Structure 1
């Protein structure tokens, strides 16, 4: 029997299905949050005279989670159209995350992949608001109105120009396209993400200082958002640092003289190799020392693996 191998999902999450080959996972925190929201919203619908208020609240929360899933599926569709492998989609306390294996090959690809999610949320939101307007007054209108505005807000929040938000990836793509330097885009968007994390903390503190239960609820939500933004931005900076170290590696800059050594048994590498291509080349042919040659096949020098490792750790050749 043949079939597609199911890859393990994120730790602590459980699978609820698949879409376009990617596993759909849910973290327990999302279920807890959903139950809490139903308990909070139920009395509001009850005061408005709605029949089965908790059932209506449950339907609203499910609809909102489906909206989040549609946001992530949009990322999946665009990524797969570019031939990228999508490992999983995970719904969690603060929304969703699509795990795309590999990096975008161009600024355009990054822009379209990142922007597809907020665009999907905006379209869902506008459609829901249209339905709310046609439904007139009543519970159905209230539910559709809530779905619409939450999606519009989600689209706007995700377009903030800081990593790890989609807007940060859009900014990264724009800077990449303008400067030709992808790492510059990552670093700028990541630092904006850190600033946004601090701003969220300050906002929550101000709301809490205003007093009342609502203020402390805002503080708790702001705290979660701050942690999410700071961790994501910090991870992006670490990735950019590693990529920068790799990019700085150029075989010819690390060459040492051949002297009188017998080089007949040494693997040969082009002297102009650098970055990822250089690391792939030495991975394919492991050795302690390589002979570097120019395009005409002439000896240029020796490249020692230890020197390459030292250059990576120091961040420059």
Structure 2
């Protein structure tokens, strides 16, 4: 059975065809320009592909309330051209098949639980650190939603005593995203992260903030696996520093062996690499297909 998948990112859209086992058969990507241009390319890619369902993991904020008049919309995004765009409706108009819809990070968490680093578990966190910081969560086997959906990348963090950077978030200044996203690194240091690979102070500070976010998530949600992806997380020196900082922050309070002794196997890179989001969208498509057939 062929399933369609869309990883709708703020920078680029990735479209793919896969199967119910998470195998990606075909894929393409294109920049996130205007809605009209992007949707035209989406329709062109999926036309005549004979997909049975389609999953969308989207940048947000988005409306996930199925009882809402704006379900399926991208809502108050700072990407102004995309504000109040009925993404699901526009695609459903062209492809009247079951459509699964969630945040891009929830999709990535689902992909990692089905086929990646959290396979076999019923809870996990997926944090992406790149242009922004987003967090997807699965708890007791269910994707976490709420009033809208969690925005854990904007949790408040303690400022490092030696850090005078005001923060880069237009809403909160020095929240987690404001202090540790890719643009925050560039604004603080005057260079992109990949140009600062050998500057130890950069990554000590980065780990200090990321670890606070992770420690808070451990205390609030108690996930069985924590997965960190995104461009910034490709700096491999970050993970040992995050592990050390998380253990120091928790200070023995969470008395479980994975935190105390095996933290390198608990806080990990994506098992699916850069395919976590696309595989997760395949997972959303398959769940939508099964739900539709049970009606």
TM range (shorter): under 0.3
Q: Which has the higher strand share?
A: 2
TM-score by length of 2: 0.27
Bigger relative contact order, structure 1 or 2 (CA pairs below 8 A, ≥6 apart)? 2
Q: Which has the higher helix share?
A: 1
